[in-house]
Amino acid sequence: MALNYTKKTLNHFLKPKNIGEIKNADAYAEIGNMVCGDQLNFSIKVEKGKIKDVKFLSFGCASNIATASIMTEKVKGMSLEEAKNYDWNKIVSDLGGLPQQKVHCSIMAVQGLKKVIDSYEDKKGNKEDHKGKAKKKVVKKKK
Amino acid sequence: MQVYLDNAATTKMDKVVADIMQTYFIDKYANPSSIHQKGEEVYNDVEKAKDKVAKILNAKAQDLIFTGSASEANNFIIKGVVRANKDKGNHIIVSEIEHPCVLGPAKELVKEGFKVTYAPVDKKGRIKMSELKDMISEDTVLVSIMTANNEIGTIQNIKKIAKLVKKSGAYFHTDAVQAVPYLELDVKDLGVDFLTLSAHKFHGPKGVGMAYIDRSVKINPLISGGEQNYSLRAGTLDVAGIVGFSKALELAYKNREKKIEKIRELRDYFLEQVKKNIKDVHLNGHEKFRLENNLNLRFNGIEGEAILMDLFNQGICVSTGSACSAKNLRTSYVLQALKINSDYLNSNVRFSLSKNTTKAELDYTVKKLKETVARLRSFSPIK
Ligand SMILES: Cc1ncc(COP(=O)(O)O)c(C=O)c1O
Ligand code: FES
């Protein structure tokens, strides 16, 4: 079955932006899709309530990589609130469309982003509660 | 560079075959069923073509029914035999790793009240003989097990399986679509009652399949309403297709040993180079009982669809059984049947060669594959 990815999707797949893991990131999160088995790991750096930096790692298909790439590009500099509600439709339209069975890749990308922001806010909340004594959350990684 | 390593999906038609077929579109266009001279001329050509196929398969020409695809031939045999032999029982056995065009008709028969059991395979894709033996009962009418698998290339011991099945009184069918020219297909020697082939897998035309059927076994037609093919498959004969099928099969089995030796050498060279250049690569399927043109490789930590898309961008055509490449997002049931660790199920790529594959193409592929795998692994969370 031909996938017919758009040129834009292919470009983001072949030359993805923001790949890697931020050292000493403010939060990490991992998200997986039970159906297709793909996985994304996000790390963020936050400054003044805004996303200063965001990076991702991917065990996934071309569209998994492309959607994470374009989304991370767009949400940099955004407020956490705004980024948390980032619409996956926007990813799809920014890429010029995705094959129908690949739309879930964009949904997984925004869910991962929300998860990493939630994790940051949880940690911050904890820190404030415990006057900075919160333990650093251990990020579980798949082997 | 353009490299086609998806020959298990389909092959490029031989020019000779295309040229011969051409004759029957414009010059020899008469209907072989017509009794006038023009019809007779075409009829004789069809008979000659069938004789050639029959000789290669050690069958009788009247045991060969040409169809619109191997999918049709498999449907015809499975539904036709089971429905026509209800008096013998209501049970059929197919392997877990059959092509969808065998599994599909089997499922349809369940709706009609027949029972289906799925014969399991081991970690390398070989039928578990003792389990198969236990499944066969007095009620078993038909057992269908493919000669060689299209995804992992594993070859079954068809002779041994056929013997086991026949001893019980059940009929035996094998889908040998992937086996040409890698295995000798002598139906008598193999001991099969039914066998399926498809021309486009051996450099013949697409849309031409063939069912070898033991005519002493009762079988219902799938397409009725005409006297062609002894009333077992109605419809004006696809003259060009049958002649093309025959020519392609003849060419496939010409210098067979030499040809497959060359393909095996290239395949083994490719595997050696891949292993030398890329870490954590594993072979799926059987290392010995394997089609000479097939390699199914697992690249740990990255996803098959991404590898495929990256290679495609470099002009290389391969295939993958990963969930992300499937419309239904399900991982290949063939790989699942091997009970591979679920972490690895989506990291597999199939490379399938043909007689047209060259060393230069494989060298290029290794080089690009190395880059692709390194790139995708560089940002994989799985280390
Ligand atoms: C093992 C096997 N059986 C059957 C088929 C179906 O052949 P066809 O395309 O002629 O229907 C294929 C090819 O797709 C195959 O690999
Ligand atoms: S197919 Fe599921 S994320 Fe790509």
Residues A74-118 pLDDT 10s = 999 999 999 999 999 999 999 999 999 999 999 999 999 999 999
Residue B380 lies in a domain: no
Convert the pLDDT of each residue in B23-75 to its tens digit: 999 999 999 999 999 999 999 999 999 999 999 999 999 999 999 999 999 99
- Interatomic CA distance for residues B178 and B97, integer angstroms: 13
**B382 inside domain:** no
Interval A5-32: pLDDT, tens: 999 999 999 999 999 999 999 999 999 9
**pLDDT greater than 60 at residue B309:** yes
Domain stop point among B252, B267, B290: B252
Kindly list the residues from chain B whose CB atom is less than 8 angstroms away from the CB atom of residue A39: 381-382
pLDDT in tens, B193-237: 999 999 999 999 999 999 999 999 999 999 999 999 999 999 999
CATH of the domain at B269: 3.90.1150.10
Q: Which of the 8 DSSP states describes residue A77? A: T
Q: What are phi and psi of B347, to 5 degrees?
A: -115, 30
* Domain A7-123: which CATH number of 3.40.720.10, 3.30.1330.80, 3.90.1010.10, 3.20.20.140: 3.90.1010.10
Please give the structure tokens belonging to residue B297: 């490789």
> Which residues of B fall within a CB distance of 8 Å from A43?
none
Assess if residue B23 is contained within a domain: yes
pLDDT over threshold 50, residue A134: no
pLDDT above 90 covers a percentage of chain A that reads 79
Same domain for B169 and B267? no
| Average pLDDT over every residue of B95-107 | 98
Neighbour tally for B159: CB within 10 Å: 13
d(CA B301, CA B34): 62
CB contact under 8 A, A56 and B379: yes
Task: Report strand pairing: B209-213 vs B281-283.
Answer: unpaired
Q: How many CB atoms lie within 10 A of CB B127?
A: 23
Alpha carbon distance B345, B341 (integer Å): 7
Q: Read off the pLDDT of residues B249-273 as tens digits, 9 standing for 90 and up.
A: 999 999 999 999 999 999 999 999 9
pLDDT value of position A1: 58
Residue A131: which region, alpha, beta or left (left: phi > 0; alpha: psi -120 to 50)? left
**Buried b / exposed e along B345-366 (16+ C-beta atoms within 10 A):** bbbbbbbbbbbebeeebbebbb
How many CB pairs (< 8 A) connect A and B?
81
A14 and chain B: CB distance < 8 Å anywhere? Answer: yes
Q: In the predicted model, is pLDDT for residue A137 greater than 90? A: no
Given B252, B282, B305, the domain boundary residue is B252
Residue A122's pLDDT band (boundaries 50, 70, 90)? very high
DSSP alpha helices (H): ranges in B10-94?
15-26, 37-57, 70-84
Percent composition of chain A: helix, strand, coil (DSSP 3-state, to 5): 45, 20, 35
Q: Which of A8, A28, A36, A139 to mutate to test the interface with B (most CBs of B within 10 A)?
A: A36
- Do residue B113 and residue B244 come from a single domain? yes
Q: Are A143 and B343 an interchain contact pair (Cβ–Cβ within 8 Å)?
A: yes
Residues B242 and B260 both lie in one domain: no
| Residue B35 domain-assigned (yes or no) | yes
Do B279 and B337 fall within a single domain? yes
Between CA B190 and CA B74, with CA B259 as vertex, the angle to 5 degrees is: 40
Domain span holding position B132: 15-252
**Together in a domain, B123 and B234:** yes
Check residue A142 and give its pLDDT. 45
A42 vs B: CB within 8 A: no
Q: For chain A, what's the residue count?
A: 143
The number of residues making up chain B comes to 383
Q: Which residue has the higher pLDDT, A37 or B58?
A: B58
The pLDDT value recorded for residue A131 is 52
Tokens 């009788």, residue?
B60
Same-domain check for residues B55 and B191: yes
CATH number at residue B204: 3.40.640.10
Domain total in chain B: 2
Please, which pLDDT band fits residue B327 given cuts at 50, 70 and 90? Answer: confident
8 A C-beta contact, residue B336 and residue B24: no
Confidence of residue A36 (pLDDT cuts 50, 70, 90): confident
A79 bridge partner residues: A50
Position A133 scores a pLDDT of 47
**pLDDT for residue A73 is more than 50:** yes
CB distance B348 to ligand 1 below 6 Å: no
Where in chain A are the domains? 7-123
Q: Is B308 found in the same domain as B161?
A: no
Q: pTM (2 decimals)?
A: 0.94
